[in-house]
Structure 1
Amino acid sequence: MCKYRPVTTNTANEAAAPVASTPVAVRVLRLLFAFYGLTALLWIPIRNADGFSLSNYLSYFTIESNILAVIVLLVGALRDPQSRTWQSVRGAVTLYMVITGIIYAVLLANIDVNLNDAWINSALHRILPLVMLLDWVFFASRHRISEIRSLQWLLFPVIYAVYTLIRGPIVDWYPYPFMDPRHQGYLALFIGFVVLGIAMALMALAVNAVGRLGAGLRGRNAAKS
């Protein structure tokens, strides 16, 4: 028998619609994948204790997005909040993980990014991005997130790019070859950023769209129950 939680809709004239609560099994899976991701994140500095640079480690978008994903999975497992703000956070972090997975597959799959353990590489670049996307689609919020809000999710990647370009010349190190202007020049870097920006904007809209689709399917299934 399904349990329901009332969630207010966008318009004041609409009645609160019942939303099926997240099954316990799903929350357990979230917890397990959170610990899986946390293990992968911690194993990197443990394995590379000699000469390990924490500042460089935390300057990888992959690491930052996976840290956020672990937090979102833990909160979703332990509390499962249904507020509009939290669901927007979920969508944003899902986008960052999708970006991580796609950028790795397209630009970094054959490049050394200091993840020599295959299981860590798969965990951070393939498995956890897929887990976050599936969780977002099949257990999406019933709150409608606007296209403008989903594009605002890109603020974090923009801040990350600015941070990387400021820090890079200072420490003479860049986390990814496509963000390194020393060999390609700033013009090519700018053009690449424009292309990436357009691609990420499309990803943001797509993540939002599949979330809405999943929410609609979930709502119809709950109504039938």
Structure 2
Amino acid sequence: MQKSERIFKLIILLISLIGIILHLESGFKTFGYNIFWFFTVLSNIAVLLHYICFFFIPVKISYRVKGYLLEPIMLTGIINWFILVPFVLKEYGSILPLLQPSNFFVHGLIPVLVIIDWFVFDPKGIFDKKDYLRWMIIPLLYSIIIYVRALFGKAIFQGSRYPYPFFDPKHMNGVIGVIVVLVLISICYVFIGKLLYKIKESKRI
């Protein structure tokens, strides 16, 4: 491993740790322990654990495992930069609300740094051609857990037992609305996963 790679990964680890601490400190005031049901929090914790483990487990395994967290944290960044930024800019005339450290580190900065790290330093040919389908395990498990939790848990956000409106049939005009959104998200997830695989695919001569 190059020295520059180790330094860059260490920077991500430290920024990730600081960002999670700040985000949890802020989030606990509003959500309490329910903050841990949010995808953003879980994806950032996964990033932190990955970069901690990176220095203690075989590099080849670490690169392969990274595929499972790459899309979740990338999804967090896409939502922030391409959905939240235009919305906040329109509503408030400024993106300053999104630049608060407790929000910016986990939603904006960490996703960008992880993608840069993956693009610049991760080797080609590390992924199996079916890995992009295996990566779907993460959002599928998350969705199942969220629905099981909703059966027994209390409200998380604005009277809803779900962390995000698109999970809640009441907000989506019924179960069909939820299914449509989840199917669209799944299709996008598979498409992005396939694209990431192709970018790092080994070139055969």
Aligning the two structures, in what range does the TM-score lie when normalised by the shorter sequence?
0.7 to 0.9
Which whole-Å CA distance do the structure 1 matches of 2:188 and 2:163 have between them?
A: 20
Which whole-Å CA distance do the structure 2 matches of 1:204 and 1:135 have between them?
A: 17
Matched, 1:126 2:102: no
| Residue identity opposite 1:194 in structure 2 | V
Gaps of 5+ in 2: 89-96, 156-160
Of 9, 26, 37, the match for 1:59: 37
Once superposed, what is the RMSD of the aligned Cα atoms?
2.5
Q: How many residues align?
A: 187
State the match for 1:10 in structure 2: none
Q: CA, structure 1 residues 180+107, in 2 after alignment: closer, same or farther (shift >3 Å)?
A: farther
SS in 1 for 2:37: coil
- Residue deviations 1:65-108, cap 9 Å, x none? 111111222333x347322x332211221122112212344555
SS in 1 for 2:127: coil
| Residue identity opposite 1:26 in structure 2 | E
For normalisation by structure 1, the TM-score amounts to 0.73
Which whole-Å CA distance do the structure 1 matches of 2:120 and 2:126 have between them?
A: 15
Instruction: Determine what percentage of the aligned residue pairs are the same residue.
Output: 21
Which whole-Å CA distance do the structure 1 matches of 2:101 and 2:16 have between them?
A: 11
SS in 1 for 2:59: coil
User: Greater Rg, structure 1 or structure 2?
Assistant: 1
The structure with more helix, counted as a fraction of residues = 2
Q: CA, structure 1 residues 72+207, in 2 after alignment: closer, same or farther (shift >3 Å)?
A: same
State the match for 1:195 in structure 2: 184
Which whole-Å CA distance do the structure 1 matches of 2:111 and 2:30 have between them?
A: 29
Which whole-Å CA distance do the structure 1 matches of 2:30 and 2:78 have between them?
A: 30
Are the aligned partners of 1:30 and 1:74 in contact in 2 as well (CA < 8 Å)? no
Gaps of 5+ in 1: 1-21, 217-225
| Residue identity opposite 2:59 in structure 1 | Q
Which whole-Å CA distance do the structure 2 matches of 1:166 and 1:117 have between them?
A: 34
State the match for 1:24 in structure 2: 3
